[in-house]
Amino acid sequence: MEHISDFYLTPICFDSPLIFRGLKSPIVWLQRRTRYSTKNMLIKSLLAATVSLLTLAAGVAFAQNTMPGMTMPAAPKQDGISGTKMTVAAPRNKPLAGRIDPATLPTLPANLPKWMSGRGNYEVFYKRGSYNFRVYDIPALAYDFNATGVGHSMAYEEMVRGNAGKLETETFGKIDRVLKNPPKLAPTEKSIAPTFSRRFGLLEQVFDWAHTLHFQTIDVLADPKMTEAQKDAEIARLYKNYRISVPFALSPLPMNMGYLYNQPYSKRMRDNYPKVNGLFWGYHWLQTSVYDTLYGKTPEEQKKAYDLMGARYRGTELYKTDRPFMPMTAETSPRFSKRFPELANVFDNLHMLHDMVNDILVSPDLTGDQKDVQVKTAIWMTMEAAHQNEKPGDFATGETTLHDHRFMDGMPGMGIMPGGTKELMYMPEADMGWMSMEQCHHCSMPLPEEALAWKMSTVTSQGVTMQARCALCARDYTLETEGSAIVQIPTENPARSVVLITDDKGEYWTRAENEKNVVFIEDEGSHAGCSEWSQAFSSRGAFDKWVAANPDYKGAKPYTLKEWWAKQGKKPDTYYKPKGPVENPYANEANRKPEGEKP
């Protein structure tokens, strides 16, 4: 119990990351004021139980009255150890490719740890911190997050009740109305999906604890008072607490996504319930893209950036039905993923676990008992405990298995993608094709790594975030790409970057301070040296100091932001388009649209 100073075990009703996020409940007050005396702990327990009952009642009322069209039917009978018997309607969209041979299903090891029984109550509350709930400083983001939790819960409840046949119609409509009218507070999963919570209590705890890490990380990034160094340090502490506080932490190792998404039941949700699967992957796009949306930005920049990203999420990303694979954290937040590769892997492994569970629950040829076992197996496959003494990069030559922990070159926070190699991944977004995560996406030159990774520029556009080696590459890539964008360019100060929010006409918004003070150098030459001759500086004084230390650039013109933005460079002399092992590894996927047809 070395973590007791930071966490209190909470009553069973306090099962989600927060009972209601943003509500300063008596539990928060108690955390700050109670000691460990018997008297105070008794008072705390009584008050907590009262709040639990009120919260449960409020959550049920929310589910019954606030969510359009949703009611809470009576729970079905339980059937011994196996839990609720499920009869899942056959998918309406297309027949299954073939029935599952039970002999091909993954199996559990003989000696599982006791906590895998799911009988323990390991639920914990937030780590204490002044930054908690700061996401509500960006209300649209907080409300969108609240709605994603509701959407997850509503879909899971229908799946376990045997109503998969309703997913694409009634359930989609209910969820869509919630997403368009997001709640200001987030109810618990138990209040919306009681059957799911009873049947898969361990799974719910795994989800909730990873979501807690996710939410608190965002709260830290949104805190206006912390420096970037303080935020980095606190995120590292949050991750440490995630690992030590409960036994069911997800693995921080890069996993072979192609292997995990190639189980006998895989892709059934994607191919047979594309609208609801699209919502799930839209949630995951939001949850992975938000890190770079907030990372290294001022509160004003964060709000402006989320105005753009939120519109993209609500208008496009939620309704894509032809993604071949889930969004990955490094695709949407490479800056954050380079800084915190273990967290990026945890969040990707969380989302893969969601996908595996979805596919299991909508498989009509699996019995209820088989589903119970396969859900538990999927949990174990993604647990840190299942990969003890393994490390990033581990790989038995010629053997692609659960224990393939290779990562993309240049991106330790990303496992091998389906159809990809260690060097290249295929990005279907915006028809970008094969890409390297260690090269500039505009000039193909190596990106700065490790201690110098902060010098990388990024451009977020069309749903992905591209990495650029220099300021020119970031600007020209933005101007060559349709639509609006978020451009982030480092200066000589690791804690200070230039953020531009651009529209589809190439006009930009930035802080007045940048317009007044920022200076650029652009003494164009071969892109082999672009990271030197194209840079941003926080002031004219910083520019002059750099030029004095680099006499080869004596006489170089200092451009204002407005002057620099009006320029356009030549086609990079170093650029080449990578070629993968096949033209398109997703070409024959069942959910791909015909050439030229939009989703």
φ and ψ at residue 537, rounded to 5 degrees = -130, 145
CB 247, CB 115: distance < 8 Å: yes
Rounded Cα distance, 234 and 576, in Å: 40
Question: Could you give the angle at which helices 274-294 and 299-315 cross, rounded to 10 degrees?
Answer: 170
Rounded Cα distance, 241 and 8, in Å: 12
Write out the two tokens for 395: 């790989």
The pLDDT of residue 211 is 95
Q: Is 398 left (phi over 0), alpha (psi -120 to 50) or beta?
A: left
Domain 445-565 has CATH 3.30.450.410: yes
489 strand-pairing partners: 498
Q: Please list the pLDDT of the chain residue by residue as tens digits (599 residues).
A: 333 223 322 233 333 333 344 343 333 333 333 333 444 545 444 554 554 454 444 444 444 333 333 333 333 333 322 333 222 333 333 445 579 999 999 999 988 998 998 776 777 789 999 999 999 999 999 999 999 999 999 999 999 999 999 999 999 999 999 999 999 998 888 899 999 999 999 999 999 999 999 999 999 999 999 999 999 999 999 999 999 998 999 999 999 999 999 999 999 999 999 999 999 999 999 999 999 999 999 999 999 999 999 999 999 999 999 999 999 999 999 999 999 999 999 999 999 999 999 999 999 999 999 999 999 999 999 999 999 999 999 998 777 899 999 999 999 999 999 999 999 999 988 778 999 999 999 999 999 998 899 999 999 999 999 999 999 999 999 999 999 999 999 999 999 999 999 999 999 999 999 999 999 999 999 999 999 999 999 999 999 999 999 999 999 999 999 999 999 999 999 999 999 999 999 998 877 654 444 43
The b-or-e profile of 538-568 (16+ CB within 10 A means b, else e) is bbeebbeebbeeeeebeeeeebebeebbeee
The alpha-helical segments, DSSP class H, found in 400-498 are: 471-480
The pLDDT of residue 86 is 29
Write out the two tokens for 124: 């914990």
Question: Which residues make Cβ contacts (< 8 Å) with residue 566, sequence separation at least 6?
Answer: none
Residue that the structure tokens 């039905």 belong to? 321
Q: Where are the domains of the chain?
A: 445-565
Nearest in space to 292 (alpha carbons), one of 4, 485, 563: 485
CB 310, CB 144: distance < 8 Å: yes
The pLDDT of residue 3 is 33
The pLDDT of residue 450 is 87
Return the amino acid letter for 297: K
Rounded Cα distance, 394 and 407, in Å: 9
The pLDDT of residue 223 is 98
Rounded Cα distance, 418 and 439, in Å: 20
Nearest in space to 191 (alpha carbons), one of 69, 13, 411: 13
Write out the two tokens for 475: 């600007």
H/E stretch holding 425 reads strand 425-427
Residue 438, CA atoms < 13 Å, CB-side half-sphere? 12
Rounded Cα distance, 132 and 126, in Å: 8
Enter the pTM of the model.
Answer: 0.84
Return the amino acid letter for 284: H
Question: Which residues make Cβ contacts (< 8 Å) with residue 587, sequence separation at least 6?
Answer: none
